[in-house]
Structure 1
């Protein structure tokens, strides 16, 4: 069983991650952040998740709590992921980033395509684009997975 943290769990992408993790036989969500919903039960915001998470409370972000997880999913804005990934990537088993912060290998393209400057070249090099049809072997040993966006093909 892998302990899972979901940062940004109170948002749309975070709710989908909660739903997917609830049905995964090897995942146990132990930490879920939602700064604007901190202190609220996940089941209050998402009644469909009541059975899976009757006692899960959204928390504020804490690096200490995130580091206790085996797998950390980031359902955060690009800039937030950019700051958090360096703190996590070598200290947990796997980071899966749902933002665009690590999708492109060329940092000079980020201002054009995503509207921000990329200042984490080491993490950018280690990120694996999460498309198994193209990167199956690399994904098996990845420490940082950048999920594909809406228009992959």
Structure 2
């Protein structure tokens, strides 16, 4: 069983990830952040999660709590993921970034496509692009995964 932390668990992406993790036999969500919902039970905010997470409480980000997890998912805005990822990569078994903060290898493209300056070029090089249909072997041993967006996934798989 892998201990999972979800940063940004109270947002749209995080809630969907909570739902998916609840169905996975090898994952146990032990830490979930949601700054706007900090202190609230996940089951109270999202009644559909009550059966699977009756006692899970959203909290504010705490590095020590995140570091106790085997796997940490970043369901955060790009800039927040960019700030937090360096604190986790290499310190937990796996970091999966669901933002766009580490999708592009060329950091000079971030202002144009995502509207922010990238400050972690070395970390970008460590991220494995999370499209198994194209990068399966690299993903097998990855410790940091940058998930692709929906449009690029659809276009890549169609080709």
Q: What TM-score, normalized by structure 1, do the two folds share?
A: 0.99
Secondary structure at 1:85's aligned position in 2?
helix
Structure 1 distance, partners of 2:142, 2:110, is 22
SS state of the match for residue 122, structure 2?
A: helix
Instruction: Indicate the SS of the match to 1:76.
Output: coil
CA displacement at 1:121 relative to structure 2? 1.2
Q: Distance in 2 between matches of 1:132 and 1:150?
A: 14
SS in 2 for 1:25: coil
Q: Is residue 107 of structure 1 aligned with residue 107 of structure 2? A: yes
Match of residue 93 from structure 1: 93
For residues 80 and 62 of structure 1, what CA distance do their matches in structure 2 show? Answer: 14
Query: Is there any run of 5+ residues in structure 1 with no aligned partner, and where?
Result: none
> How much does 1:116 deviate?
0.5
Deviation track 1:15-39 (CA, whole Å, cap 9, x = no partner) reads 0110000001100000000011011
Runs of 4+ that moved beyond 6 A: none
SS at structure 1 position matched to 2:151: coil
1:50 is matched with which residue? 50
Residue 38 (structure 1) aligns with: 38
| 1:144 corresponds to 2:144 | yes
Tell me the alpha carbon deviations over residues 28-61 of structure 1, each in whole angstroms, 9 at most, x when there is no partner. Answer: 0000000110110001111111100000000110
Distance 2:98 2:22 in 1: 18
- Alignment root-mean-square deviation, CA: 0.6
CA distance in 2, matches of 1:122, 1:86: 10
SS of residue paired to 2:103: coil
The residue number in structure 1 matching 2:7 is 7
Query: How many residues are treated as equivalent by the alignment?
Result: 153
Query: Residue 64 in 1 paired to residue 56 in 2?
Result: no
Name 1:26's counterpart in structure 2.
Answer: 26
Distance 1:133 1:56 in 2: 34
